[in-house]
Amino acid sequence: MIPLIDKTIKKIRLGLASKKAFMPVLLMCSCYLPADQGQSDNPAYKPLRPVFLSVEKALQKGDNTLFEQKKSHLKAYPLYPYLEALSLKNRFFHISQRDIDRFVKQHGKGLPTRQLQNEWLNFLLQQKQWRAYKMAYHKNPVPTPKFECSLGVAYLNTQHPKLAWKKAEKLWLTGSSQHKSCNSLFIAWKKAGKLTQPLAEQRFWLAIDDSNITFARYLSKNITNTPGQKRIEQFWKARDIPWHLAKSGSAEALGSALESTTQYVVKRLVRLNAQEGASLWLALRKTLPLNKTQKDKIDHWLALRLARNLRINYDKTLAQLDPHYQFSDVTQWRIRQALSRQDWPRVNRLIPQLPDKDQQHPRWQYWRAIAIASNPSAIRKTRVHQNIKDQTSDTLLKSLSQERDFYGFLAAEIRDQDVKLNAARTSVNPKDVRRLIRQFDAFDRIPEWLALGRYYEAQSELNRLRPQLSEKQRPLVAWLAKQWGWHFQSIVTAAQESLWDDLTLRFPLPKIDYFQTIAQENKLDTSWPLAITRQESAFHPKARSHKGARGLMQLMPATARMTARLNHIKYNSSRDLYNPAINIVLGTAHLADLKERFDNNRIYATAAYNAGSSRVRRWVKARGNLPLDIWIETIPFDETRQYVQNVLTYRAIYNRLNQQPGNMLSDEETSMLALVSPAENQVSMASPETSFEIP
């Protein structure tokens, strides 16, 4: 059990006041929040957990003595198979495939078996027991590059060259480097004369398609025939001098490699100089013998890249690349360009160019309503809903305001209504749950891992189990996860199974009293940091992003150090960020810092929490005079735009769940929406000659 947070936390003073006066060091105690145990804390297993941990530790050191002493006592414990697997691993020199088969028969093909099989295959590889490896792999395949390559080597060493060459050819055809265990297989394959020139050249172009230039240079050594060498020579020339593609004879010399070369060269030049790259492609597309599908592929990529640039008017180029509005995502960005200029007639013309399905999306229903209602000569009223003069616009907004999403909530704000939650709990039959638990042993092991705070193992168990579940069984996982206090998984599974209306699964309220205390100390409303946490980690205390952000509120270590220093919060190392109490204190303080940094603008602060302050400052400088809803819609990064919309929406939902007023925006924020912002707040776009930078 994680120790309860000390009562001295009540004395914490964070936020603006902490920067103006000396404060005692915060979090003097070793403060942790209690884990949400739910039904995962089975009292019958509680005395067995310390025994399990001590035996596991001994086995990991290679000592089986304690396991032999305690195994009869632990056999009824759900995690016992992991101990038995570790015991077998320690005795690999003294066991055979029969012992592995016996384990599989007894415990099934769950995660303990998968982990044991990985170790067994690695052992057989180290011992070069090729026949045993081949037998073990076929009994319980582990299709990773390492083990697949090793299977080819096993075929080679057991006099099955045809199978080895077939495996080598399959593994060869990739645009990136293979696992090092493939090296000996590829060497033997080449030595046997099985690497044909078409295969050698095919892999070169796969590397080019992946923009893996260094690897492509290495692969070019395998291409020895004259036609292949000429195609590669033409590629390098075009890479160095893009307009070389326009020369007579270049396309013929490239032959089947024309598409790969053209895509690579055009994309590379556009990234260096958008205007020149666009000019090159518009010239090439008239002369190169590419089919419509090939041309459309480049048209789409280039049009989308240009359309996303809100600082430069590429309307004429876009009209050439996509004259018939066949690329929906490009059309959506053309609408955003029109929004950034507040060109409402153009918005009205462009939205009907979207496919019918996209037109019905709440996003474009909202902007259709605003475009219809927006009239620069109209008298602006104090309350937005009084300004809606067009009945079609009013009808659209009225319909939208019934929806539970960002645009529905915006429509509700405009109409001065509370947001609609439209919640409905999922009906669960207890008999189905009991039947599910009896069918799969993993449902005994998962809550035990959670009780031990071992989220990685719990997630690995579920990942291994999920493909075996039926369509009827999968939604039950969300309900079980909620009972276990595993909020992350209840949220994820509810989304995977489209349980959109069950807000008890999708919007849990863990640590709500603690969030309230810390938010109040920072002069923030509770629902805002709660919504940030819901978006950042879905309440996963051990979450870590690929960039290194950690914990509930996904703080980078450098940000945590800076926030701790500014707010006089005790912080020792990045390991502290996996402590929920410290993470919430630091994350909420950082949010308060951002709010102050952006003059109390909650929307800018939310964007900065995701994209960083410097980037948001640039966006504010470029488009800060736009109405608030247009500014959000024209955030250049899809991730950040969705992030801001989600956080605002989640905050409104949490407000309602906490019996607070159901508004997404404050009165001041509502007054900054497009329908009440002065019409003269329009921005001009630079001509293509003035700037080539693409955000």
CATH for 7-30+508-662 is 1.10.530.10
Res 39: pLDDT: 52
Res 109: pLDDT: 87
Res 526: pLDDT: 95
Given this chain, do its domains 7-30+508-662 and 48-191 carry the same CATH topology? no
What is the DSSP secondary-structure string of 47-60? THHHHHHHHHHHHH
In this structure, what is the dihedral angle of CA atoms 394, 396, 397, 403, given to the nearest 10 degrees? Answer: 150
This prediction has a pTM of 0.88
The list of the chain residues with pLDDT below 50 reads 1-35, 37, 376-388, 679-695
Res 305: pLDDT: 97
All structural domains of the chain with their residue ranges: 7-30+508-662, 48-191
| Residues constituting the chain | 695
User: Tell me, what amino acid is at 184?
Assistant: S
Res 329: pLDDT: 98
Residues 6+ apart with CB under 8 A from 38: 482, 483, 484, 485, 486
Q: Are 410 and 664 in contact (CB under 8 A)?
A: yes
Tokens 């769940």 identify what position? 657
Dump pLDDT digits (tens) for 439-457: 999 999 999 999 999 999 9
Tokens 């947001």 identify what position? 419
CATH superfamily of 48-191: Bacterial muramidases (1.25.20.10)
Res 143: pLDDT: 94
